[in-house]
Structure 1
Amino acid sequence: MEKTILHLDMDTFFVSVERLLDSRLIGKPVLIGGVTDRGVVAACSYEARAYGVHSAMPMKRAKELCPDAIQIRGNSATYTNYSEDVTNIIKETVPLYEKSSIDEFYADLTGLDKFFNSYLMASELRQRITRETGLPISFGLSKNKTISKIATGEAKPNNQIKVDLGYEMPFIAPLSISKIPMVGEKTQQTLYSLGVKQIRTIQEMPMELMEKVLGKNGVSIWKKAQALDNSPVMPYNERKSISTERTFDRDTIDVIKLKGILLAMAENLAFQLRRGQKLTSCVTVKVRYSDFNTYTLQSRIPYTSADHVLIAKVLELFNKLYHKRLLVRLIGVRFSHLVEGSYQINLFEDIEEQLNLYHAMDKMRDKYGDRVVMRAAGMEARTISRFNPFTGEPPPLLPNRRR
């Protein structure tokens, strides 16, 4: 039985939320992100995109391209709340869904055509989301994730497309290679230099040639161009978490040491989130005293994987939880309610230099080990145990190098 996969994507999600809150923004070019010249564009409206503006662009450059654009700092907590509203509607409607980011979803509707018309069901779901939240949304429906995602991109803004079985390759053939998931700017330029601009050309190329040019990535891109994608819809599970604990050889009351270790824990776990393209919306701090009494305190936050946001929240929770003059036996940090997401840091407030710094630090950690670069305040924590959020197995205490 061929699968039936639905891909849903909110249209310019952040901008759409802002327009719900202020109708005067409708039809105008809007930039969301850092409001200073050193800020970065987190999202932009279609009107701004017409001037060449795109996300992750320096705000100064965006304003040069579109001087009449309205700048808004944005509120990640508000966007998270609207995302949860949409998630709840999808959860009530489909049997199996995957939340791949704050504004993007997959659903497996395989076999439902025996009882319902899957396209009609998807259409009704889209209409319900718009009716109950006021937000525009588009979808693509096909036999796999790749084709459905491409179809959604073609359907935008605020529309829907079904790609009938057997018509997948003709549907994507005339499209730009940039439409294929995994084809970034660098890969696109490499293929352009070879005269490969349309997906049709990749469809006609032997797989071995793509492998020779781009390695394993070339094989994956070739398969997607052939409409081959067996990746399953992964059930969304809010209970996934990643955590770390430290038990002391000797109970301690050294607050500076405790905070330094907590800082290092939060920093390291934030890197693990970014490396796994994950975001967290729940932070928990755990303290066990010498009498073995254990206390935890948690807080819900907007989805993030930013060091400075998570470190600040961890230290805030510890300050509320810690009872002075009591010896501490164990401390721990846990990030939960994980979702897939590439919003690696808070684009609404951070500046371009901070984005570049995170990127550089993550590259060093990825190459030489996750403890090769750290904040000075966290130097006390030389070993940090982590639990894999997917397998539950604790990895080695020593830094891993990506194989």
Structure 2
Amino acid sequence: MARAIVHMDLDTFFVSCERLTNSGLNGIPLIIGGGERGVVASCSYEARTFGVRSAMPIKMALRLCPQAKVMKGDMELYSKLSHAVTEVIEEKAPVMEKASIDEFYLDITGMDKFYGSYTWTNELAQSVTKETGLPISFALSVNKTVSKIATGEGKPKGNLEIPENMVKPFLNPLSIKKIPMVGDATFQLLSRIGIRNIQTLSEMPADVLQQMIGKNGIELWKKANGIDHNPVEPYTERKSISTEHTFLQDTIDIEKLKRVLQGMVEKLAFQLRSEGWLTSTVVIKIRYANFDTETKQCRVQYTSADHILIKNVTDLFSKLYQRRMRLRLIGIRFSGLVRGTYQINMFEDTEEMMSLYQAMDRMKTRYGFDAVMRGGGATFKPNNKDEILKRKK
């Protein structure tokens, strides 16, 4: 029996959230992002007609569409509305995976025996819009890859169904850029040898593709041929990630403590970005030599950026550590997690800052966490009592 996999995507989510709270923004070119040196986090369809796209520098976007209104993002609002949508879908869907703050996969295999799968999905989408006020698009197909591509092709408000016998005819004429795992570098590499549409890519020998682009070659070939056996993973929301450092000898060295804290933040922030999380609450814990334990926390705008989190952790530590006794343990916890990426969160940072984080993360992923670190945290060497605690509901 062919699987029935739905991909649901909230249309121009950030823009829709802002318009929900301010109807005066309806119908105008709208850009959500940072200042002049920032980038576009999201934009309305009115802005897209001028060539504005996500991740584009704001300066370039305003050259293309000078009449656009630029607004700073409100992750608190976006998270709240994303949670509301999640509740509507989770209540009705048999299996739901929350892929990001505005994307969902559903496995409704077998439902057509009792109720038309497309009709059921369409009614669910209508329920989301009715209960939250947010527009949502969807596509129904045999796997996650095809349904995700189809959602993009059907936007806005063009909900598609791609049955098993239509997968290849649907995919073949599309650009290889439509495949989720094809970035600019892979597109340029394949374009140089004349591979620009999915059909040409699907007909290429899989082993040759693997030699060209490495271990992801086989997976890319499968996706081009409409093959994707990845399951829809039931949604569980992580509450927090944390790490603790127990000193081999109790210490009162403030500078040493701050260096260790910085290294701990770097490690956790990299984990946040790698797993696609943003945090809204920072908690710091200290344990004195007499085993007295104290904690302090603060709220932050949703982020996964080292420099923001380091500042908040350092400030908290300065406020918390007042007794001037030796410490045996320090710990950090990031909680209030939501799905999101560094790019959509950094409404005020520059394109250069974002590029730096991306470059550092690539090096850490390829060569290990210690391959590149901030100067202050470079002296942090985890001991055998360090641990990262992952708590789930």
| TM over 0.5, shorter chain | yes
Moved more, 121-130 or 209-218: 209-218
Change (3 A) 1:254 1:2: same
1:135-146 alignment runs, 5 A limit:
135-146=134-145
- SS at 1:15 equivalent: helix
- SS at 2:307 equivalent: helix
Change (3 A) 1:382 1:150: same
Moved more, 167-176 or 356-365: 356-365
Q: Write the distance in 1 (CA, Å) between the matches of 2:151 and 2:379.
A: 49
Q: CA deviation at 1:298?
A: 4.8
Name the counterpart of 1:310: 309
Q: CA deviation at 1:7?
A: 0.8
Calculate the TM-score normalised by the size of structure 2.
0.90
The answer to whether the Cα contact below 8 Å between 2:281 and 2:297 also exists between their aligned partners in 1 is yes
The answer to whether the Cα contact below 8 Å between 2:244 and 2:388 also exists between their aligned partners in 1 is no
The answer to whether the Cα contact below 8 Å between 2:303 and 2:346 also exists between their aligned partners in 1 is no
User: For 1:102-137, what per-residue CA distance to the aligned partner results, in whole angstroms no more than 9, with x for missing partners?
Assistant: 111112222333443332222122111111211111
Name the counterpart of 1:248: 247
AA in 2 matched with 1:4:
A
User: For 1:217-275, what per-residue CA distance to the aligned partner results, in whole angstroms no more than 9, with x for missing partners?
Assistant: 33212211211101111222223643321111232334443333222211221112223
AA in 1 matched with 2:13:
F
1:114-263 alignment runs, 5 A limit:
114-239=113-238, 241-263=240-262
Name the counterpart of 1:6: 6
Q: Write the distance in 2 (CA, Å) between the matches of 1:344 and 1:381.
A: 27
Q: CA deviation at 1:329?
A: 1.8
- SS at 2:332 equivalent: strand
1:319-338 alignment runs, 5 A limit:
319=318, 321-336=320-335, 338=337
Name the counterpart of 2:361: 362
Q: Write the distance in 1 (CA, Å) between the matches of 2:363 and 2:186.
A: 22
The answer to whether the Cα contact below 8 Å between 1:99 and 1:339 also exists between their aligned partners in 2 is no
1:276-287 alignment runs, 5 A limit:
276-287=275-286
Q: CA deviation at 1:286?
A: 2.4
1:99-114 alignment runs, 5 A limit:
99-114=98-113
Q: CA RMSD in A?
A: 2.6
- SS at 1:215 equivalent: helix
Q: Write the distance in 1 (CA, Å) between the matches of 2:380 and 2:215.
A: 37
Gapped runs of 5+ residues in structure 2?
A: none
Q: Write the distance in 2 (CA, Å) between the matches of 1:182 and 1:198.
A: 14
AA in 2 matched with 1:387:
I
Moved more, 180-189 or 106-115: 106-115
The answer to whether the Cα contact below 8 Å between 2:97 and 2:106 also exists between their aligned partners in 1 is yes
AA in 1 matched with 2:25:
L
Change (3 A) 1:9 1:299: farther
Q: CA deviation at 1:299?
A: 5.2
Q: Percent of aligned pairs with the same residue?
A: 54
Name the counterpart of 1:291: 290
Q: CA deviation at 1:309?
A: 2.8
Q: Write the distance in 1 (CA, Å) between the matches of 2:11 and 2:94.
A: 24
Q: Write the distance in 2 (CA, Å) between the matches of 1:345 and 1:319.
A: 30
Change (3 A) 1:137 1:232: same
- SS at 1:132 equivalent: helix
Change (3 A) 1:209 1:61: same
Change (3 A) 1:190 1:376: closer
Q: CA deviation at 1:388?
A: 7.3
AA in 1 matched with 2:326:
L
Change (3 A) 1:375 1:199: closer
The answer to whether the Cα contact below 8 Å between 1:238 and 1:337 also exists between their aligned partners in 2 is no
What is the number of equivalent residue pairs in this alignment?
A: 390
Name the counterpart of 2:388: 387
Change (3 A) 1:96 1:310: farther
Q: Write the distance in 1 (CA, Å) between the matches of 2:233 and 2:295.
A: 30
Q: Write the distance in 2 (CA, Å) between the matches of 1:317 and 1:227.
A: 50
Q: Write the distance in 2 (CA, Å) between the matches of 1:388 and 1:202.
A: 42
Change (3 A) 1:92 1:317: farther
Calculate the TM-score normalised by the size of structure 1.
0.87
Q: Write the distance in 2 (CA, Å) between the matches of 1:217 and 1:367.
A: 14
The answer to whether the Cα contact below 8 Å between 1:281 and 1:338 also exists between their aligned partners in 2 is yes
